[in-house]
């Protein structure tokens, strides 16, 4: 009812991930792609005011993820290099927002690590070929009709989404 647009990175596990994995291990065990996530909810003005419990019970984050070309995460020579990814979000060619990967727990790999560790507490594993969106670089605007584009630096390229 009220979809948003989030600028994110999308990681894919090249093998099963373990809570014993360090950030360096995760760098070596994943691929990365630029992404736009479109979370939605049945509630008006749901983000960021709706509690995390209501968001989960509503399956609000179960929307859509559009991702671009996939690269070995080792494209980034070090874990710290993932703290320096910048992105600009455009709508119909007009720049709306710019953001940086440090908005995602300081480094998107930390977000992935948090998820791997949380799954382990529930006796679950992030399996080979499963994908995870990292968390948004910017406070997400509402999704509206038109041409959306996220432009990433560091050789990651662009992600395009056309909403009719």
The larger pLDDT score, comparing residue 52 to residue 87, is at: 87
Q: What is the pTM of this model?
A: 0.89
Take residue 34 and report the two structure tokens written for it: 């630029």
Lowest average pLDDT, out of 1-5, 56-60, 155-159, goes to 56-60
Domain locations along the chain: 6-163
What is the tens place of the pLDDT at every residue in 144-156?
999 999 999 999 9
Q: Give the H/E segment covering residue 163.
A: strand 157-163
Question: Class of the 6-163 domain?
Answer: alpha beta
CB 89 within 8 A of CB 95: yes
Take residue 117 and report the two structure tokens written for it: 């560790």
Take residue 99 and report the two structure tokens written for it: 């953001």
Quickly state the pLDDT bin for 3 (edges 50, 70, 90): confident
Asked if the model's pLDDT at residue 1 lies above 80, the reply is: no
């Amino acid at each position: 009812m009220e979809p948003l647009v989030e600028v994110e990175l999308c990681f894919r596990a090249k093998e099963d991930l373990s809570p014993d994995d360090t950030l360096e291990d995760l760098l070596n065990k994943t691929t990365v792609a630029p992404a736009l996530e479109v979370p939605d909810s049945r509630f008006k003005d749901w983000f960021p005011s709706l509690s995390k419990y209501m968001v989960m019970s509503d399956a609000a984050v179960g929307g859509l993820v559009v991702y671009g070309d996939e690269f070995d995460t080792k494209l980034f020579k070090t874990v710290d290099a993932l703290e320096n990814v910048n992105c600009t979000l455009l709508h119909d060619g007009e720049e709306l927002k710019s953001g940086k990967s440090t908005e995602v727990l300081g480094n998107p790999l930390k977000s992935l690590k948090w998820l791997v560790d949380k799954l382990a507490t529930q006796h679950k594993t992030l399996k080979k070929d499963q994908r995870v969106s990292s968390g948004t670089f910017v406070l997400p605007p509402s999704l509206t009709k038109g041409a959306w584009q996220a432009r990433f630096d560091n050789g990651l390229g662009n992600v395009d989404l056309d909403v009719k």
